[in-house]
Amino acid sequence: MKSNRFFVSETALKKSSKHSSQAHAEVFYRLEENQLLTDNDVRTIITHSILILAAQTGFEGIEWQAAVMLTYTVTKYLRRIWKIMNICDKRRLDGRTSAFACSFLQVLRILKIEDVKDIAEFYLRRVIQRRNSLYEACIKEQQRAELQGRKRRTYYEPAGEKDISSASSPKQKKFSDPD
């Protein structure tokens, strides 16, 4: 039976103490006051969002290393979006307009995202694709291990039940120990 409670490992809880609700309150206060956010503030918000998304999508737990890796990936992707958007805005200010209504739509097009809704589909597609590839890799590894196990058994154990006295007959091949 699946529990509805989200599990975060003890390591994650210890390391997330700096990402407490007080830290979140400070970050959101800075947002309300239109102050600039530091890199640490951005990582705090992204990590918090990742933990919430993981719980909402049905994961029962998450290791701290996974949350950090996802935070790093999301941060890199957002920086890429920001750089492209910055270039598009500079071009717009220089008077070189494009057929797009706004810079964000142009950025999405450059990143090959047709619509804002496609971001969620892209996320789901990547997660499902990764899960399926890991599953296939596990199945292949299991089949390879079973095949090696069968080869060993057939080498050391003759197929079927044979009488020991019949092994000395000239028609039967004798198996020698490789050692």
Give the Å distances, CA to CA, from 150 to 68, 113, 127, 164, 178: 42, 48, 35, 22, 17
Residues 29 and 80 occupy one common structural domain: yes
Give the Å distances, CA to CA, from 2 to 7, 9, 52, 123: 12, 17, 18, 24
Q: Using a cut of 0.95, tell me whether the model's pTM lies above it.
A: no
Residues 16 and 77 occupy one common structural domain: yes
Residues 121 and 95 occupy one common structural domain: no
The tens digit of pLDDT for each residue in 88-126 reads: 888 888 888 777 777 777 888 888 877 667 667 776 777
Residues 12 and 50 occupy one common structural domain: yes
Domain count, the chain: 2
Residues 89 and 147 occupy one common structural domain: no
Residues 76 and 100 occupy one common structural domain: yes
Residue 120's nearest CA partner among 108, 131, 133, 107 is 108
Confidence of residue 4 (pLDDT cuts 50, 70, 90): very low
Residue carrying the six token digits 């950090």:
68
Asked if pLDDT for residue 168 goes beyond 50, the answer is no
Residues 15 and 47 occupy one common structural domain: yes
Residues 65 and 41 occupy one common structural domain: yes
Residues 140 and 67 occupy one common structural domain: no
Asked if pLDDT for residue 154 goes beyond 50, the answer is no
- C-alpha span between 150 and 9 (Å, rounded): 39
7 membership: H or E segment, kind and range: strand 7-8
Asked if pLDDT for residue 14 goes beyond 50, the answer is no
Strongest mean pLDDT among 31-35, 38-42, 107-111, 142-146: 142-146
Confidence of residue 169 (pLDDT cuts 50, 70, 90): very low
Q: For the chain, give percent helix, strand, coil, nearest 5.
A: 70, 0, 30
Residue 10, both tokens: 């003890």
Asked if pLDDT for residue 148 goes beyond 80, the answer is yes
Residue-level pLDDT at 34: 66
Q: Quick check: 101 and 76 in contact, CB under 8 A? A: no
Domain extent, residue 108, equals 1-112
